[in-house]
Amino acid sequence: MNLIKDWYQRTFSDPQMVLLLLALIVVFLILTFFGRMLTPALAAVVIAFLLDGPSNWLQRKGVPELAAVILVFIVFLVASVLTALAVIPPLIKQITQFVNDAPAIASRIQTLLLDMQTRIPTLISETQVENWLSGLGNEVANIGPKLLEWSLDGLTGAITLVVYTVLVPVMVFFFMKDKHKLLGWIGGFLPTDRPVLEQVWRETLERAGDYARGKVYEIIIVGSAAFVTYQVLGLQYATLLSVATGFSVLIPYVGAATVTIPVAVVAFFQWGLAAETAIAIVAYLVLQALDGNLLAPLLFSEVVDLHPNAIIIAILIFGGLWGFWGVFFAIPLATVANAVIRAWQERSAAEKETAC
């Protein structure tokens, strides 16, 4: 008990540690209880945060701040519109086609499983095949109701989507333009002496910001390369699979393995047990290998220094708390946590030296 009491008194007698802890609690409570209501503002903050890198780069090249902000914002709008026009229509078409083809795909997989069970009964038992087919049938049967539920939700949320489409870009621009004013306003609520909080903030901007921007570039590059590859191979649902392949990089290790299944299923449905199926799977694995061994190291060299288990745990925790954005920012948030722990340890070590 004395050990815990000494740790408590040593830690929370330091006003800098208390300030850091209170700031973290306030941010967590805002995201947890008001995150859904503040979704447009949070999305705008995230986008402005991502665009801050190109804007700062232009300013370092001698472009005035306002001109850099306007230029980056215009490029962002144009790129967003062109991407939406190029991706969304074929994506919706292929999703609809996939839903229509789902029973045929399930039937093809059923035939394959039954054939494998007949040929190698020692490897796959009849009970396993029955369980797999039962689960597959349930998933196929639920596709229609899930799509109907999504469409009904979409009808009620259509107005919200339109509002977000207009509101978020406007907020992004003003967050970028008035960044210093907004940060100054927030800083006005904090004590002027806040070295630990500023240390954590600087490290967050440096590491988490670079990581998040690099991850966006990685998604675009991997998704584009996958689309070209699937088109060259003549694989069906090329847009749908390339989007899935691009977003698979969000979840290290697990994402790449998970997306292998739909690529293999679609290839088998299209070509059967043929050379083309093997080529499609190998091409996908080569893409993921190039991403993991070439692209990711180039984009994230020394940006993130975390153990693989820490990354997976961060994805599970933050993804469970905040869904897609939690998954997207899991590693930056883990980096923030690492920065907090390091600042805490450095502060404690400094106090011990002072006491000695």
What is the per-residue pLDDT for 295?
A: 80
Q: Which residue has the tokens 């600087």?
A: 202
Give φ, ψ of 225 to 5 degrees.
Answer: -60, -40
pLDDT of amino acid 152:
45
Q: Which residues have CB under 8 Å from 13's CB, separation 6+? A: none
Dihedral, CA of residue 314, residue 212, residue 182 and residue 38, to nearest 10: -60
Tell me what pLDDT residue 121 has.
65
pLDDT in tens, 147-170: 545 544 544 555 666 667 888 899
pLDDT of residue 120: 67
Hey, how many other C-beta atoms are within 10 angstroms of the C-beta on 353?
A: 8
Of these ranges, 125-139, 147-161, 232-246, 248-262, the one predicted with the greatest mean pLDDT is 232-246
Amino acid sitting at position 29? L
Query: Which tokens go with 70?
Result: 């306007």
**H helices present in the chain, as ranges:** 2-12, 15-34, 39-60, 65-119, 126-177, 179-187, 195-203, 209-233, 238-248, 254-271, 275-290, 296-300, 308-328, 330-355
**Alpha-carbon span 154 to 289, nearest angstrom:** 37
Taking Cα atoms as reference points, which of 80, 93, 90, 25 lies closest to residue 47? 80
CB proximity list for 210: less than 8 A, separation 6 or greater: 53, 300, 303
Mean pLDDT for 53-60 is 88
Quickly count: other Cβ atoms within 10 Å of residue 260's Cβ.
16
Structure tokens at 21: 């802890």
In tens, the pLDDT along 167-212 reads 889 999 999 998 888 888 887 777 777 777 777 777 777 776 777 7
Q: Give the whole-number percent of the chain exceeding pLDDT 90.
A: 11
Q: Which residue has the higher pLDDT, 3 or 226?
A: 226
Least confident of 13-17, 131-135, 248-252: 131-135
Q: Give the CB-side neighbour count of residue 342, counting CA atoms within 13 A.
A: 13
**pTM check: above 0.75:** no
